[in-house]
């Protein structure tokens, strides 16, 4: 029986408050039941959501800590794909109150190095208009979060937390589009892109390398025949970079930006939606699951 939203939120809060008493496996099993409404099969995982939970528990290479730390990752990926694809860092601080705004340009982005998704991000398009109190509240709230403790994502365990500033790429007056590539040990199946985020009604669509719509999610399934979006410049190069970044990793979602054909690395995510993605269609969840090779992880531990 499906739980209503209020009860589910209460149970999640209770579960996380007891995190210190629970093993990683039990914690992840409980979260999966609450988020997905069914039991987690760790002995024979088949879907993408199931396999990502398995990976949380059994694929724990030390380099993963570096790959998810947004500061340390810059040097790591610069060596892998070239410094020209890395957004320059303008400053690093342990506390918001340490930021010297006089030394920052008129436009920039503030981030926390350990956060996921769009949390812990403050975009400043005009320094004179920045609401510093609001920015401080958002970033200090982010500094208190812990993705390992909240979702069992091991790569985030023990990351030292910082606030950092980086250049605002693209047109300061327009929202930057990010392209999320679904990668499986070097094979890039599709890219997920979003429209209408700036008007508060985001819509996500998958496209393959030939720029054909893939009906992997609810929005894509509902799209009319022939639906498409503008194909960015150098999209083939973006697929190639995502492939290079994801080599040797069962699943990695690689987020890239494209500014008039110039490609920038955003971040790499091991656990898309933390493995609790209910928007993905069941058949797509099974399809993506088939692309995740857990035997490679098992063999590497021998």
Contact 139, 92 (CB under 8 A): no
Indicate the class that CATH gives domain 88-168: alpha beta
User: Hey, do 41-84+175-302 and 88-168 end up sharing a CATH topology, with the first three levels equal?
Assistant: no
**What does the alpha-carbon distance between residue 165 and residue 55 come to, in Å, rounded to a whole number?**
32
pTM higher than the cut 0.75: yes
Give 124's contacts (C-beta < 8 A, 6+ positions apart). 107, 108, 109, 110, 130, 135, 168
Cβ(189)–Cβ(92) under 8 Å? no
Ranges of each domain in the chain: 41-84+175-302, 88-168
The single-letter DSSP state of residue 205 is: E
Residues 226 and 267 sit within 8 Å (Cβ to Cβ):
no
Q: Angle between the 48-58 and 24-36 helix axes, to the nearest 10 degrees?
A: 160
Q: CA angle at residue 279 from 222 to 7, to 5 degrees?
A: 130
In this predicted structure, what is the pLDDT of residue 2? 61
Report the pLDDT value the prediction gives residue 117, as an integer from 0 to 100. 67
Per-residue model confidence (pLDDT) at position 119? 78
Phi, psi of 282 (to 5 degrees): -55, -40
Q: How do the residues of the chain divide into helix, strand and coil, expressed in percent and rounded to 5?
A: 40, 20, 40
**Contact in structure between 217 and 279 (CB atoms under 8 Å):** yes
41-84+175-302 under CATH 1.10.1760, yes or no = no
| pLDDT tens, residue order, the chain (302 aa) | 567 889 999 999 999 999 999 999 999 999 999 999 999 999 999 999 999 999 999 999 999 999 999 999 999 999 999 999 999 999 999 999 999 999 999 999 999 999 876 778 999 999 999 999 999 999 999 999 999 999 999 999 999 999 999 999 987 667 788 899 999 999 999 999 987 776 677 889 999 999 999 999 999 999 999 999 999 889 999 999 999 999 999 999 999 999 988 999 999 999 999 999 988 999 999 999 999 999 988 777 65
Quote the CA–CA distance of 100 and 96 in Å, as a whole number. 9
């Amino acid at each position: 029986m499906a739980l209503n939203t209020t009860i589910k939120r209460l149970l999640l809060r209770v579960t996380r408050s007891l995190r210190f008493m629970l093993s990683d496996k039990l914690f992840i099993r409980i979260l999966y039941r609450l988020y997905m409404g069914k039991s987690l099969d760790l002995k024979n995982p088949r879907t993408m959501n199931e396999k990502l939970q398995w990976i949380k528990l059994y694929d724990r290479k030390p380099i993963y800590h570096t790959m998810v730390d947004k500061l340390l990752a810059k040097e790591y990926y610069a060596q892998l794909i070239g410094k020209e694809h890395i957004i320059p860092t303008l400053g690093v601080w342990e506390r918001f109150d340490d930021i010297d705004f006089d030394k920052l340009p008129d436009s920039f982005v503030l981030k926390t190095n350990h956060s996921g998704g769009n949390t812990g991000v403050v975009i400043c398009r005009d320094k004179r208009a920045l609401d510093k109190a609001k920015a401080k509240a958002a970033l200090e709230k982010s500094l208190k979060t812990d993705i390992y403790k909240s979702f069992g994502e091991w790569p985030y365990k023990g990351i030292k937390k910082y606030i950092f500033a980086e250049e605002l790429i693209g047109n300061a007056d327009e929202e930057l589009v990010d392209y999320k590539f679904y990668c499986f040990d070097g094979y890039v199946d599709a890219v997920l892109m979003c429209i209408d985020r700036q008007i508060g009604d985001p819509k996500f669509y998958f496209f393959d390398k030939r720029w054909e719509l893939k009906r992997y999610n609810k929005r894509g399934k509902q799209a009319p025949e022939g639906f498409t979006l503008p194909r960015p410049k150098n999209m083939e190069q973006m697929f190639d970079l995502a492939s290079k970044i994801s080599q040797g990793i069962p699943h990695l979602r690689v987020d890239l930006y494209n500014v008039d054909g110039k490609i920038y690395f955003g971040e790499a995510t091991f656990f898309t939606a933390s493995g609790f993605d209910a928007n993905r269609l069941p058949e797509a969840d099974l399809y993506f699951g088939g692309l995740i090779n857990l035997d490679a992880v098992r063999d590497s531990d021998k």
